[in-house]
C-alpha cells in the first residue's frame, strides 16, 4: 500500500519576469527607458518585491537568489517572489556558516557569500539593492563581466577607500542622480553596504520605499501630473 505523498500547489503567474520587463526593449536609450517604465510603475514593482522579501524573512527564510529573473509580474501587474531552490530556514538574528561552494547568481551576490563568510538575512538585502540599481538604470548589472571579474569588483575594489561608499558596485551616473526620487539612491547604497550589519532590514527597506512612493505621489499632485506622472495617484502600494 502506497503512503500518501506530500505535494505543493503553487500559484500560476501568467506574465513575465521583472528582468524581461526591464530589459525587454533592446537598444533603447535611458530616456526611452524612463518613458516606458516611469517611476510610479518602477516603485510599485519594487515595493511588491520588497513586500514579498519581507514576508519571506518574517517567516524565517533566507531566499538566497533574489534577482529580477525570480520576480514574476502577473497579468494584474503585481510582483511575486519565486524560485526558492537555494532558500534556507534561518532565524532573523542567526547566520549560516560560510561554505566553500558559492551558490547563487554572481551579479546579485553579496560580498560575504563570495568570500565564503557567515551569511544572514542581509544577503538578500544586498541583492535587493542590485535590483534597485537595475530598476534605476535599466541596465543589466555587471554586464560583460565573468564571475571572477565580478568577485574582484565586489570584494576587492570595495575595500580601497574606507568610510566612503564602496567603489566596487554598479556605476551611478549623473542621469541616475537627476532622475531618481529623493532618498532612493541613499537607500540603495545602504542596502549594498560592504558589511551586513550596516545594511537595513527588509522592514526598514519597506518603510523607506513607502515614504519614497508617498513623496512621489505628493509631487505629482503638486505639479498637476506634469512630466508623465499623471497616473501616479492610481498606483497601489501593496
Q: What is the pLDDT of residues 81-118, one digit of tens each?
A: 999 989 998 865 555 565 556 678 999 999 999 998 88
Given 65, 83, 91, 124, which residue is catalytic?
A: 65
Residue 30 structural domain: 18-92+99-219
Model pTM score:
0.84
Cell, residue 7: 505535494
- Per-residue confidence at 234, pLDDT binned at 50, 70, 90? very low
Tell me the C-alpha distance between 215 and 204, whole Å.
Answer: 17
Q: Decide if 48 is inside a domain.
A: yes
Spatial CA neighbour of 115 closest among 86, 155, 157: 155
Alpha-helical runs (H) found in the chain: 18-22, 30-36, 39-58, 111-114, 122-137, 147-151, 174-179, 184-191, 202-222
Q: Decide if 236 is inside a domain.
A: no
Q: How do beta strands 79-81 and 61-62 pair?
A: unpaired
65 is catalytic: yes
Q: Decide if 234 is inside a domain.
A: no
Q: Decide if 58 is inside a domain.
A: yes
- Per-residue confidence at 224, pLDDT binned at 50, 70, 90? low
Q: What is the pLDDT of residues 160-181, one digit of tens each?
A: 555 455 668 999 999 999 999 9
CATH at residue 187: 1.10.510.10
188: left (phi over 0), alpha (psi -120 to 50) or beta: alpha
Tell me the C-alpha distance between 97 and 23, whole Å.
Answer: 35
Count of the separate structural domains present in the chain: 1
Amino acid at each position: 500500500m502506497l503512503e500518501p505523498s506530500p505535494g505543493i500547489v503553487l500559484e500560476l503567474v501568467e506574465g513575465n519576469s521583472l528582468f524581461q520587463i526591464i530589459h525587454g526593449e533592446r537598444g533603447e536609450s535611458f530616456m526611452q527607458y524612463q518613458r516606458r517604465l516611469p517611476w510610479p510603475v518602477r516603485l510599485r514593482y519594487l515595493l511588491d518585491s520588497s513586500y514579498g522579501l519581507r514576508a519571506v524573512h518574517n517567516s524565517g527564510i533566507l531566499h538566497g537568489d533574489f534577482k529580477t529573473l525570480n520576480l514574476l509580474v502577473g497579468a494584474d501587474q503585481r510582483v511575486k517572489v519565486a524560485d526558492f531552490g537555494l532558500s534556507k530556514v534561518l532565524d532573523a538574528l542567526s547566520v549560516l556558516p560560510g561554505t566553500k561552494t558559492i551558490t547563487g547568481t554572481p551579479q546579485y551576490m553579496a560580498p560575504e557569500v563570495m568570500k565564503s563568510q557567515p551569511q544572514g538575512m542581509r544577503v538578500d538585502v544586498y541583492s535587493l539593492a542590485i535590483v534597485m540599481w537595475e530598476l534605476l538604470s535599466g541596465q543589466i548589472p555587471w554586464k560583460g563581466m565573468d564571475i571572477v571579474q565580478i568577485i574582484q569588483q565586489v570584494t576587492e575594489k570595495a575595500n580601497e577607500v574606507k568610510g566612503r561608499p564602496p567603489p566596487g558596485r554598479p556605476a551611478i551616473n549623473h542621469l541616475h542622480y537627476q532622475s531618481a526620487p529623493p532618498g532612493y539612491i541613499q537607500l540603495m547604497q545602504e542596502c549594498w553596504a560592504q558589511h551586513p550589519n550596516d545594511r537595513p532590514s527588509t522592514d526598514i527597506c519597506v518603510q523607506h520605499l513607502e515614504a519614497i512612493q508617498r513623496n512621489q505621489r505628493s509631487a505629482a499632485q503638486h505639479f498637476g501630473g506634469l512630466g508623465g506622472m499623471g497616473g501616479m495617484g492610481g498606483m497601489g502600494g501593496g
